[in-house]
Each structure stands twice: as structure tokens, then as C-alpha cells.
């Protein structure tokens, strides 16, 4: 994969992106004038109060939702067969009637990759995340953490230009979440995929992100973008660094004010 130095053009470019929903009570601006570039190989985390438009922005990026105004583009790669994006949602979006390996190979099957090649690629990903011996299990036979690992490697096996993740670890218990955070760090450091990652967890955003975007309460605007200048490779131990606490504290100061504002608006 090309690195930032070899192609300085942004991988994702958002210019004055606005999303207005028509609701029974009139227009509702969910995302307002969002302007941001994401570099190739960057891990961008987005945090903000509930309802501030994080998922709406991600859905627009994924092409699942139209942009009301502004421009939102993902720069294609050199191989036209490579999908522009793959999305990982909080809910395990895997097919219950397919085995683990068939799930991971699904995107490649849709792209017409031969059975042999797609099973090889899927097997490689299962090996990397310790799921090899569950390849022939069905989703109901594995735990929630394993299902979400399957969702993540299914998206990666597809080798998208950008990986879009909407609160992917949100449904997991605290311990499983930590294990998957470490796994995501390791995988990202190996692949350097361009990632947009939505989370309610400030710790997760600071741990994983190169930058953290803080959005305002509705209408969702960019309040602040934080460069997380903490060296990689990172691990759960990174959370013990003084710098980590400083970032978390600074972002929380502003986020907590927005959360309060959002709650007041809802009353
Ligand atoms: N299809 C829709 N029609 C009308 N309003 C919508 C629609 N989808 C989302 N909204 C509204 O847009 C706003 C932003 O929603 P969105 O789901 O993007 O927020 P969010 O920041 O991801 O929230 P959360 O953190 O709770 O997941 C909310 O007020 C939501 O109710």
C-alpha cells in the first residue's frame, strides 16, 4: 500500500459536507459544514455526544446515505477492482448460515475471486487473529468477541481503500474490548489501512487514533481536531503514559461540555 509520502493527496476529502434530514417536524441538520482531509494510511477517530451525526457522516462516506450539500470523496487506488470502502458496524453483520471462513471470504466472492484464492486469503486472516480453528464453525457456535473479530477481518479481507468502523467494539464486554483494541492496534500497524473509526470511548479514540475529531452536539460540526502525538507501536500500556492522560483530559473537558449541552437540548 502506498504511504503518505508517496501520494500526498488526501485519501478522504470532505468539503463543507452537510446532511439535512426531512422529518415530521421540519428540516433537521445532522451534519453541518464538515470539512476535513484524511491522509492515506491515517487512523482517524471521531468522538462526540450521542446524536451529533457521527454515524451519519460515516454512512455518507460509505455511500449508504446521500450528501445534502458539499463534496465527500474517497480517492480510488490504482486497482479498479479494489472496493472503495468496507464498513464494520457495532452489530455483528455476519451471515448466520455461512461458516466463519465463508463469511470472511464473502466480499471476495462478490468480487468474483476464485474459490481457492478467496479461501486462502480468508484463512490467512483467520490465522492472524487466532480464529483458524473456528474456520468451519457457524456464528452461533462462537462468542460475541469472536463474531466481531470475524466482522473485522471480513472487512479487511476485502482489502478496501478505506475501512469505516462505527463503534465496532461497542457491544463487547470490557475485557474482550481490551483484547480487541490490542488486536486492532497490531493489525493496523501491519496494514496501515486508512481508517475512520467512530467510538463513544475517549480512551479508545486516543489509544488508536493518529488524530481525534471532536464533534459538537447537534448540528454536528467539527469542534476540534487533536493530533495524538504518542509514538507507535502502542499497546494497552500506552494508557498509563502521562501524555495519554493529558490528551484524554483535554478532550474530555470539551466533550463533557458538549454532552451537557446535548442533554439540555433534548429536555
Ligand atoms: N434517517 C433519518 N431520518 C431523520 N433523522 C435521522 C435519520 N438518521 C439519523 N437521524 C438523526 O440525525 C442525528 C444524528 O444521528 P447519528 O446517528 O448520525 O448520530 P450519532 O452521533 O452517530 O449518535 P450515537 O452516538 O447515539 O450513535 C440524530 O438526531 C438522529 O436522530
Chunked mean pLDDT (size 10), the chain, 267 residues: 61 98 94 97 96 95 96 93 90 89 94 93 92 96 92 92 95 89 93 96 97 94 97 96 97 92 80
d(CA 37, CA 33): 13
* Spatial contact of 208 and 181, defined as CB atoms under 8 Å apart: yes
Does 233 sit behind a cis peptide bond, omega within 30 degrees of 0 on the bond before it?
yes
Do 57 and 17 touch, CB atoms closer than 8 A?
yes
- Residue 63 CA to residue 126 CA, distance in Å, equals 28
Q: Which atom of ligand 1 is nearest to the CA of 215?
A: 21
Which residues does ligand 1 sit against, CB inside 6 Å?
A: 21, 23, 28, 30, 48, 50-56, 218
The Cα 203–Cα 244 span in angstroms is 8
Atom from ligand 1 closest to the CA of residue 19:
12
Task: Please report, for residues 56, 82, 160, 189, the alpha-carbon distance to residue 117 in angstroms, rounded to integers and kept in the order given.
Answer: 35, 15, 17, 25
pLDDT of 4 reads 46
Q: For the chain, which residues make up each domain, given as ranges? A: 1-84+161-267, 92-159
Query: What interface predicted TM-score (ipTM) does this complex get?
Result: 0.97
Architecture of the domain made up of 1-84+161-267 = 3-Layer(aba) Sandwich (3.40)
In angstroms, what CA-CA distances link 227 with 11, 114, 122, 255? 18, 42, 34, 16
Closest Cα to atom 31 of ligand 1: 51
pTM of the model: 0.94
Q: In this predicted structure, what is the pLDDT of residue 67? A: 98
Amino acid at each position: 500500500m502506498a504511504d503518505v509520502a508517496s501520494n500526498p493527496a488526501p485519501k478522504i476529502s470532505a468539503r463543507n459536507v452537510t446532511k439535512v434530514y426531512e422529518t415530521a417536524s421540519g428540516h433537521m441538520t445532522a451534519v453541518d459544514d464538515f470539512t476535513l482531509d484524511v491522509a492515506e494510511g491515517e487512523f482517524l477517530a471521531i468522538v462526540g455526544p450521542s446524536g451529533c451525526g457521527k454515524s451519519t457522516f460515516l454512512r455518507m462516506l460509505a455511500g449508504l446515505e446521500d450528501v445534502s450539500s458539499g463534496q465527500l470523496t474517497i480517492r480510488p487506488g490504482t486497482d479498479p477492482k479494489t472496493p472503495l470502502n468496507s464498513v464494520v458496524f457495532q452489530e455483528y453483520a455476519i451471515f448466520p448460515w455461512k461458516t466463519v471462513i465463508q463469511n470472511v471470504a464473502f466480499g471476495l466472492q462478490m468480487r468474483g475471486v476464485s474459490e481457492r484464492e478467496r479461501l486462502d486469503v480468508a484463512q490467512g486472516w483467520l490465522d492472524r487473529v487466532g480464529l483458524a480453528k473456528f474456520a468451519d464453525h457457524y456464528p452461533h457456535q462462537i462468542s460475541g468477541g469472536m463474531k466481531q473479530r470475524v466482522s473485522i477481518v471480513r472487512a479487511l479481507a476485502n482489502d478496501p481503500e478505506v475501512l469505516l468502523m462505527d463503534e465496532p467494539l461497542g457491544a463487547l464486554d470490557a475485557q474482550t474490548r481490551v483484547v480487541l483494541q490490542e488486536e486492532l492496534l497490531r493489525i493496523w500497524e501491519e496494514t496501515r489501512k486508512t481508517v475512520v473509526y467512530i467510538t463513544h470511548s475517549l480512551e479508545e479514540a486516543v489509544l488508536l487514533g493518529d488524530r481525534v475529531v471532536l464533534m459538537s452536539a447537534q448540528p454536528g460540526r467539527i469542534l476540534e481536531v487533536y493530533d495524538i502525538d504518542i509514538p507507535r507501536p502502542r499497546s494497552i500500556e500506552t494508557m498509563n503514559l502521562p501524555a495519554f492522560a493529558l490528551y484524554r483530559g483535554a478532550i474530555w473537558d470539551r466533550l463533557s461540555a458538549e454532552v451537557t449541552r446535548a442533554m439540555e437540548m433534548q429536555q
